[in-house]
A and B are shown apart, each in its own frame.
Chain A
Amino acid sequence: MTTKEQQATAPGIKQDSRRTDISKTSLFINRAGAYFIVAILLVIGLIIAQGRFVSIDNIRSILNAVSLTGMACAGLAFVVYSANFNDMSLPMTMALSGMMAVQLIPFGIVVSVVGGIAAGTLVGVVNGILIGKFRANPIIWTLAFNMVLSGIVRVAWGGSQIYPDTVAGDSEFAQQAAVQFNSFARTYFFDGALPLMVVVMIVLFVFAYFMMTRTRFGNKLKMVGSNYEAARLSGVNCAKTVILAYVLCSLCAAIAGIFYTSMTKIGAYSNGEGYDFDCLTAVLLGGMTLAGGKGNIVGVFGGVLVVGMLKNIMTLIGISTFSQYLVTGVVFLIVVWINTSSERKLGRA
């Protein structure tokens, strides 16, 4: 089988002996995607930790740990799907929405949350217009915008952290809002079995799934992501589609940013640092490719699960932080390699 494949890829061969049938293994790997890894990790987890691994406590802890990444990933998936690589302004979107929310706490909890989300979404609007309408390079523009935002936020708040209860001051109303704000990340349903953050993450994923598969926007996005020119020539409003993708991405990041801030109880410019590449890793693990138009939201959710379970299992085994980097990197490269090669074997890349 391998020799045949080698022959098929070698240039200058006279007889066309390329395979025309679809490899069952490749198809399976391609379909199962990240869930294949999830299953492997589940087995490893069961072997090393026996009963404890599938206990409610541990499952909740895994889900809770990935909920912030998950929220941002649900949005980032749209950007990756539209063949725009990555939203490098994700960290500052999270930081900005959190800091705005904290700053607006004296006006009540509703204003605070809405203001925070609006501030974060605004980043997406700017990104979307620049990239969708004027076709700026997505990576470089979002990176530049991230730096500008980072500078503005640092200058505006003088490089200091802000605390919800300090910002609230002495007013009873504002103090109550601050307490409510801090409790977002500490709300649980069913006797502590189901954290609010996990619920929000799942809601966002369901929403993203719905947007991607059940709406006109989702179909257009697949066309734009697969082949921009073809989509444009067939009458799709590409600019509008990409703008919406960025707005959705920033919206999800802003929600994640508010939960992040609520969790640490601190609004700081450093909130969300590193989320740009962390989220991209999860999205890519979930079977999406940078070429765009490939993969699906269910896969992305699997990718997020892999990130969480991998860390959980490594800590359970007692692997040191340093080796964890190495294992993460190697697993990431192998998964992406398997994914790419299966796509190629199926003739989709």
Chain B
Amino acid sequence: MEQTKRKFHASMINDYRAFVFLGIVLIFGIFANNFYTLYNFTSIFSGSSLYTFIGLAFTLCMIAGHMDLSVGYMATMGAMMVLGMRTLEGLPWGVAFLVAAGVGALFGLANGILVAKAKIHSFIVTLGMQFVIKGLLNIYSNGAEISVKGDFEVTDILNSSPIPFLPFSVLFLFTLAAVIILMVVLAKTRFGRNVYMLGGNLETAWLAGIKSDRNTILIFMISGILCGLGGALYGVSAGTATPTLGEKGIAPLMVGLTATIIGGTDIAGGKGSVLNTFVSIVAILAMFGVITTLVGKFEVQILFIGIVLAFCVLYETFTKYAKQKTLGIRPDLVQKYMQESGKTKL
């Protein structure tokens, strides 16, 4: 019995590894000067906004068993669209945001149709869509950046903190709202359950009466809307957007993907949590902050984000390998363990 209890704890750590990661980073924050200040946390939370939206979109697709590589460019497009509509076309902010989300939905629809109807692998579709979006964006703006042109009203609102003594900017509150809405949708609605079922086993889901094509298209559209809105919010809060936003540095796509994996989402689909992805993103950004203050070198940042990701992959791989080994040699042990721990899945 004790054996089981210990194992239960080990798996718990794995289930909540995003929180554990955040905890480790926060402990090391003690060594960094000025880490525990209101200002610093406001900046970390605001900075996580763009990555969170991209991470949410990516996690959603991954739970459904797909990969959406075009999230980075869709977010860029959202940022370019909102500023283009506002600055170049002179439309009101509300309409500009709607256009950004709408264009995101449109490209999501295109992705979804190609994946669901033309049956091309999502990895390939979104890879090709990246080039298409990149080309369109550059043609639209002629490669130049688009800015708010000194109209900082909304920018200032997004960056202000409405609640005293709490490090939450308006931008972050929007982000938080998106996280919570998506959490509720995934956990409480029929669509949410469908997403998990589609990712778990597409064929079973179809046999169970789920309209898989329609749901897949919807998932890609939501992913597009999330990216469009996230990019738009980021673009306005920064006051500018360039067509290269999604490809520089550790690209937002890579941060989103890493956070999704660290958050424990299964790459094969059917398992994952939006909240864990969000926590991982905050942890990654906090880690960037700590490393910048302590070392100040970008090299170390990329090294550490790589090590954390590699560690998660290795852990998952090796436990799976060990289990398969046990399964091969002594299947009875595994069944006993499953009975005792009350788990249905390894």
Interface-facing stretch out of A149-157, A182-190, A210-218, A251-259: A149-157
Q: A151-B303, A152-B303, A325-B134 are in contact. Are A333 and B128 (CB under 8 A)?
A: yes
Give bound CA distance, A143 to B69, whole Å.
13
> Would you call B254 an interface residue if the criterion is a C-beta within 8 Å of the partner chain's C-beta atoms?
yes
Give bound CA distance, A323 to B134, whole Å.
9
> Would you call A203 an interface residue if the criterion is a C-beta within 8 Å of the partner chain's C-beta atoms?
no
Inter-chain contact B303/A281, CB cutoff 8 Å: no
Inter-chain contact A290/B123, CB cutoff 8 Å: yes
* B residues less than 8 Å from A136 (CB atoms): 313-314, 316-317
* A residues less than 8 Å from B298 (CB atoms): 154, 159
B276 to chain A, nearest CB (A): 16
> Using an 8 Å CB-CB cutoff, how does the interface string of B239-274 with A read, 1 for contact, 0 for none?
000000000001000100100010000010000000
> Would you call A332 an interface residue if the criterion is a C-beta within 8 Å of the partner chain's C-beta atoms?
yes
Give bound CA distance, A291 to B119, whole Å.
12
Give bound CA distance, A183 to B270, whole Å.
53
Q: A159-B299, A326-B131 are in contact. Are A140 and B136 (CB under 8 A)?
A: no
Number of interface residues of B (CB under 8 A): 48
* B residues less than 8 Å from A329 (CB atoms): 128-135
Q: A151-B299, A151-B300, A289-B121 are in contact. Are A137 and B267 (CB under 8 A)?
A: yes
> Would you call B118 an interface residue if the criterion is a C-beta within 8 Å of the partner chain's C-beta atoms?
yes
The one of B130, B138, B309 that contacts A143, using a Cβ cutoff of 8 Å: B309
Within 8 A of A (CB), among B123-175: 123-125, 127-136, 138-139, 142-143
Give bound CA distance, A135 to B257, whole Å.
20
Q: A291-B121, A340-B120 are in contact. Are A332 and B128 (CB under 8 A)?
A: yes
Q: A140-B261, A326-B132 are in contact. Are A333 and B306 (CB under 8 A)?
A: no
Output the nearest chain B residue to A324 by Cβ-Cβ distance: B135
Output the nearest chain A residue to B138 by Cβ-Cβ distance: A322
Inter-chain contact A144/B119, CB cutoff 8 Å: no
Inter-chain contact A290/B121, CB cutoff 8 Å: yes
Inter-chain contact B132/A333, CB cutoff 8 Å: yes
Inter-chain contact B309/A147, CB cutoff 8 Å: yes
* B residues less than 8 Å from A140 (CB atoms): 257, 261, 267, 309, 313
> Would you call B31 an interface residue if the criterion is a C-beta within 8 Å of the partner chain's C-beta atoms?
no
Q: A155-B303, A330-B132 are in contact. Are A323 and B124 (CB under 8 A)?
A: no
Give bound CA distance, A86 to B310, whole Å.
17
The one of A150, A324, A333 that contacts B129, using a Cβ cutoff of 8 Å: A333
Output the nearest chain B residue to A339 by Cβ-Cβ distance: B120
* A residues less than 8 Å from B314 (CB atoms): 130, 136
The residue in B67, B306, B314 that gathers the most chain A C-beta atoms within 10 A of its C-beta is B306
The one of A143, A280, A326, A349 that contacts B127, using a Cβ cutoff of 8 Å: A280
* A residues less than 8 Å from B131 (CB atoms): 325-326, 328-329, 332
* B residues less than 8 Å from A154 (CB atoms): 298-299, 302-303
> Would you call A341 an interface residue if the criterion is a C-beta within 8 Å of the partner chain's C-beta atoms?
yes
Give bound CA distance, A277 to B130, whole Å.
11
Give bound CA distance, A146 to B139, whole Å.
32
* B residues less than 8 Å from A56 (CB atoms): none
* B residues less than 8 Å from A148 (CB atoms): 303, 306-307, 310
Give bound CA distance, A330 to B316, whole Å.
37
* A residues less than 8 Å from B257 (CB atoms): 140, 143
Give bound CA distance, A243 to B339, whole Å.
37
Q: A340-B118, A340-B120 are in contact. Are A143 and B254 (CB under 8 A)?
A: yes
Give bound CA distance, A147 to B125, whole Å.
24
Inter-chain contact A139/B317, CB cutoff 8 Å: no
Q: A332-B131, A344-B119 are in contact. Are A147 and B302 (CB under 8 A)?
A: yes
Binding site for A on B (CB under 8 A): 67, 114, 118-121, 123-125, 127-136, 138-139, 142-143, 250, 254, 257, 261, 267, 297-307, 309-310, 313-314, 316-318, 320-321
25 A-B interface contacts by CB (under 8 A): A130-B317, A139-B267, A140-B261, A140-B267, A141-B313, A143-B257, A147-B250, A147-B306, A147-B310, A150-B303, A151-B299, A155-B299, A159-B299, A280-B127, A323-B135, A326-B131, A326-B135, A329-B130, A329-B131, A332-B127, A333-B125, A336-B120, A337-B118, A340-B120, A341-B118
Name 8 extra pairs, CB < 8 A, besides A144-B310, A151-B307.
A130-B317, A136-B316, A140-B313, A143-B257, A147-B303, A151-B301, A322-B138, A349-B119
Q: Lowest 10 CB-CB distances: which A-B pairs, in order?
A: A151-B303, A326-B135, A329-B131, A147-B306, A325-B135, A322-B138, A154-B299, A329-B132, A148-B306, A144-B310
Binding site for B on A (CB under 8 A): 85-86, 130, 134-137, 139-141, 143-152, 154-155, 159, 277, 280-281, 284, 289-291, 321-330, 332-333, 336-337, 340-341, 344, 349
